[in-house]
Amino acid sequence: MDRRVDTVHMLESADLLMGLIQRETASGMPPHRILLAGFSQGGAIALHVGLRYTERLAGILALSTYMPTANTLEVERSPENIEIPIMMAHGSHDPVVPFANGLNACQQLKRLGYHVQWHEYPMMHQVCEEEIHDIGRFMVETLDPGTV
């Protein structure tokens, strides 16, 4: 399946997410307590914004996704988030975002020095119970590491 990425609209969505982060920090939420999460296109946007954001964020959850702006990441990435915790998960039978696209994104991140937790599940373009448990564990480890 060959899908063209609408980078213009993806970047517009990324700008909206940046605005949401800025709204939260303006209301007193410290950036290091903000975890970005997204499924499919939302995961691509979470990765795009989280890896480029200029203040340290808590983490990134990127589910059943890919990285359409990987070719500019090395130049655009933020040093504040080079060590950001990242969890990526993908269904091995995903017909919407091919498994290979998600795995490739994970490998690209690892080549750039990011620490990525990779999880795969025997499912399609969806979320399963085991994944929800893994997400919960990642969130606790990331947002409240003293309780793990």
Structure tokens at 3: 């899908």
Coil, strand or helix: which one is 112?
coil
Options 78, 119, 125, 134, the catalytic residue? 125
HSE (side-chain half, CA atoms, 13 Å) at 34: 23
Residue for token digits 């410290």?
Answer: 30
Coil, strand or helix: which one is 126?
coil
Options 48, 64, 90, 94, the catalytic residue? 94
Clarify whether 6 is annotated catalytic: no
Clarify whether 64 is annotated catalytic: no
Clarify whether 134 is annotated catalytic: no
Cα dist from 33 to 67, 128, 130, whole Å: 24, 26, 25
Options 13, 32, 40, 134, the catalytic residue? 40
Bridge partners (DSSP) of residue 39 are: 63
Phi, psi of 145 (to 5 degrees): -60, -20
Known catalytic residues are 40, 94, 125
